[in-house]
Amino acid sequence: MLSTVLFVPALMTVASAATYTANGVYHIPIHEEVEKGLYAFLQRAFKEAEENQADAIILDINTPGGFTSAAGQIAMLMERTDIRTIAYINKDALSAGAFLALHADEIYMAPNATMGAAAVIDQSGNAADKKAQSAWLKQMKAAAESSGRNPKYAMAMADATMHLPKYGAPKGELLTLSPSEALEVGYSQGTMATLGDVLKATKLDGREIIEVTPTFFENVARFITNPVIVPILLSIASLGLVLELYSPGFGVPGTMGVTAIGLFFFGHLVAGFAGYESLLLLVLGIALIGAEFFIPGGIIGMIGTVMVIASLLTAGEDVTHMMLSIVVAGIVAIIGMVVIMKVFGKKLSMLNRLVLKDATTTEDGYVSNVNRIDLIGRIGKTETPLRPAGVVNIQDERLDVVSEGAYVDANELVEVIKVEGSRIVVRKTKEA
């Protein structure tokens, strides 16, 4: 699996680079959610457009929004390029989509398109804290100003306290512009029904249109690197490996765990977030954890665990989100262990290799010394006083014995009443 993860990104890059020709207009889609995988795809598309000296880049926008961190990176990508950028909103450019459209040199909208509603929400769907809202509001304002547009309307898209009743956004409502409203406030250069109309309006008709679409691997990477999917993948990996510890051999749970962690690194490698150093940390960490089963002490296993966690942190783009994902995966693993042990009564089969379970019992024929059970019932004479230990002569054989507890004088008759290994217990008797 490791060789596949290393080989696929290189193959994808070579294949995509050979697809496009010099000059022309690059038509690049921004569809579905704005997230980290989309940034990786756009980074590749912009690079190819620049290398082939494209005349323009048309961003085909239809998105409900997404993650502000990814939108910020894409915006920087748009700001850095010297190529003419045109946003064509063919359906919706909401939230992060509106933010990206504002970074384009020109904006055109389809007849039924919308643009705006850019409030910041957290992963639970609730309004973000004031600090995040303030930062996003400033970014929306800067996006409008950078392209020479009135920032008042960009701020109204993100701030419900602004009052723009003329455009359906009184205080308490976020601004969402229709094509005619966007044209009126200078946020759109025109309403175009098709991409061909956009090309004519921008005097780019007759140029070669180069369609840039995500590869299969980039689509997989976009799905895997989605902040919602990452903790799910890590939870599957941790739960699968925990279940494997309670199962003999290597079976379905272990395969499930290894596959999940492999997919995690594959997606982050393709998306450009993980480097080979992350994979090296992962391999070394797993090797040290495996060595812990053969080298006692615990230190090697702890170092291996730290290295695995470090590999996950360095593979993700956002360290805070990766830490939260790892915590979630750890909680899932702990719950799984508790359920398996308490509900199903399972024990760690992996520890069977580390714990010695064989016993050399008398029942199995093992003895540490000669067990003189034949002496039980025999009579002998004490050669020394028993205080309580001493020497007894039984049929001309001198034996070390102990009394049952009482003192026994020398030259007294005693009977063997118990033999426990090398311990012979006697009791004073009058019978010869």
Is 334:237 a contact under the CB 8 Å cutoff? Answer: no
pLDDT value at position 354? 46
Q: Residue 270: in which H helix or E strand, if any?
A: helix 252-270
Which amino acid is located at 52 in the chain?
A: N
Q: Residue 216: in which H helix or E strand, if any?
A: helix 216-224
Phi-psi region of 100 (alpha: psi -120 to 50; beta: other; left: phi over 0): alpha
What residues does 99 pair with on adjacent strands? Answer: none
Residue whose entry in the numeric block shows the structure tokens 């290189």 = 10
Query: For residues 121 and 320, what is the distance between their CA atoms, to the nearest angstrom?
Result: 17
pLDDT value at position 370? 66
The 3-state DSSP class for residue 114 equals strand
**Phi, psi (deg, nearest 5) at residue 84:** -65, 125
pLDDT value at position 111? 95
Cis peptide preceding 388, ω within 30 of 0 = yes
Cis peptide preceding 170, ω within 30 of 0 = no
Is 291:281 a contact under the CB 8 Å cutoff? Answer: no
Which amino acid is located at 301 in the chain?
A: G
Query: For residues 330 and 328, what is the distance between their CA atoms, to the nearest angstrom?
Result: 5
Is 413:390 a contact under the CB 8 Å cutoff? Answer: no
- Within 13 A of 422's CA, how many CA atoms are on the CB side? 5
DSSP string of 25-89, one letter each residue = EEEEEEES-B-HHHHHHHHHHHHHHHHTT-SEEEEEEEE--B-HHHHHHHHHHHHH--SEEEEEE
Is 315:273 a contact under the CB 8 Å cutoff? Answer: yes
Running DSSP on this structure, what letter comes out for residue 404?
S
pLDDT in tens, 126-157: 556 777 788 889 999 999 998 899 999 999 99
> Residue 156 has which token pair?
């109204």
Which amino acid is located at 367 in the chain?
A: V
pLDDT in tens, 289-303: 777 666 766 677 788
pLDDT value at position 179? 95
pLDDT in tens, 40-61: 889 889 999 999 999 999 999 9
pLDDT in tens, 296-350: 666 777 887 788 888 888 777 667 777 888 888 888 878 877 777 766 555 554 4
What does pTM read for this prediction? Answer: 0.61
Lowest mean pLDDT among 66-80, 131-145, 341-355, 401-415: 341-355
What residues does 58 pair with on adjacent strands? Answer: 27, 86
Separation of first and last alpha carbons in the chain = 84
